[in-house]
Amino acid sequence: MTRNEWTARSTLDPDAVPAAKRWVILVGAVLVQLALGAVYAWSTFAKAMTSPEAFGWEKAHVAIPFETAIGMIFVGAFIGGRIQDAKGPRTVAMTGGVIYAVGVILASFAHKDTFWVLVLGYGVLAGFGLGMAYIVPIAMLQKWFPDKAGLITGIAVGGFGFGAVITSPLGQVLIDADKTVPTEAFLYLGIAYLIAVLIGASTFANPPTGYRPAGMPAPAQKLVGAADDYTVGEALSTRQWYLLTAILMLAVLSGISVIATAASAASDIAGFSKAGAATLVGVIGLMNGGGRILWAWISDKIGKMPTFATLLAIEGLCLLALPHASSGLAFAIFACVTILCYGGAFGTMPSTAGKFFGVSRAGAIYGLMLVAWSLGGILGPLIANGLIGHDKNYTTAFTVVGCIALAAITLTVITKPPHHAARKQAAVVRPVAPARPPAG
């Protein structure tokens, strides 16, 4: 059977899809997310740019490209999600990946007197392309893995979390080759990102209508179909969309306050050396990726809102304890568990949105929810650094942020699936009355 014949047949016959195809697509999705997640390695490059032997920029100055990129993620995710829902995943992922890689490559031409090139390349273009490509695997994989949507989307976004773990040491090697112009490292990284995204995205495709994995039992009754899934406008008309977005934003705000201050807090609170603090930051990156997989898997077992309530509670309690952890081991445990929960919010929310609103328009609906990432990513460091201040008041900062996480638990209690989604999950049908036997 030729490729065209298989494509034509599989579009009409869900049973014609090879069992291994969805796993190949998952591997491709993880490869794409690893390249995109390199954005979290920004601190490695920022530190080099502040060095007097390089550009000598202020810390607040070098934060602008990263903050711009985080802000643009939402724009790219929303636009990419809308296009994906209409045109399919492969084209959108490749387009977003190319824009992302081109932006990173452009950033390599930034020098001390051309800061705007760094903002345009790494901030605007790379941030937009990142968001555009990021949303694609999340929406697509829920259609390929209806039997384990939470775990699989968790694995995909876990790849994003692990991206910085790979890029940070590699970036440092490239920076050390010429410490006077650290931005030159972006040229080689951008090319690597481009290759990884094009290879990974080449596997992307939506499953045929009616696809059901082998071994997954057919529903006992007709469920609400794709035509009955929420449109973007319908989802935005429900209070559940805003509640889910608020839960994600507060979880991000709480966790990223630790990410933004981890190195300095480890030194000031628990006496870490510079090398020890740098090692802890790397371990935190592993926790970010691992939490996305762990909590997504847990959410498939215990339910979505119980999962969010649990991870917010743990996150809040660890933040309250963090400024009092004078021993290095205690500090590392509290910081790592906090970020494990931070990653868990990203791992759990995609399948939650799919469960509430359906998966046929998941790209646009969840893409809009990523405004929570942008807001939380800006407000968390702003609140934490503002409260820490020159007096290094970590107790006030982490106590306030911890209380925010604990207060967010109330949102999980009042968040229930929309009536339409609840009807879909219940799949209640009226029993068919038995045929009346003929008279006589």
State the greatest distance between any 2 C-alpha atoms of the chain, in Å, as a whole number: 102
Parse the chain into domains and list their residue ranges: 21-212, 229-425
**pLDDT for the residue numbered 334:** 95
**pLDDT for the residue numbered 227:** 53
> Where are the alpha helices (H) located in 108-238, listed in sequence order?
115-118, 126-144, 149-177, 185-201, 232-236
Asked if CATH classification 1.20.1250.20 holds for the domain at 21-212, the reply, yes or no, is: yes
**pLDDT for the residue numbered 266:** 86
**pLDDT for the residue numbered 1:** 42
Q: Is 303 left (phi over 0), alpha (psi -120 to 50) or beta?
A: left
**pLDDT for the residue numbered 218:** 55
Same fold? 21-212, 229-425: yes
Distance CA 290, CA 286 (A): 6
**pLDDT for the residue numbered 34:** 92
HSE-up of residue 54 (Cα within 13 Å, Cβ side):
22
For 277-292, what is each residue's pLDDT tens digit? 777 877 887 888 888 8
Model confidence, pTM = 0.76
**pLDDT for the residue numbered 396:** 94
Mean pLDDT by 10 residues, the chain (440 residues): 43 60 92 90 81 83 84 87 83 95 96 93 95 88 82 83 82 87 93 96 87 61 55 91 96 89 83 79 83 89 95 96 91 94 91 87 83 86 84 91 96 89 44 46
Distance CA 121, CA 240 (A): 36
**pLDDT for the residue numbered 433:** 46
**pLDDT for the residue numbered 439:** 47
Cβ contact 355:421 at 8 Å = yes
Distance CA 56, CA 68 (A): 20
What's the gap between Cα 113 and its chain centre? 34
CATH code of domain 229-425: 1.20.1250.20
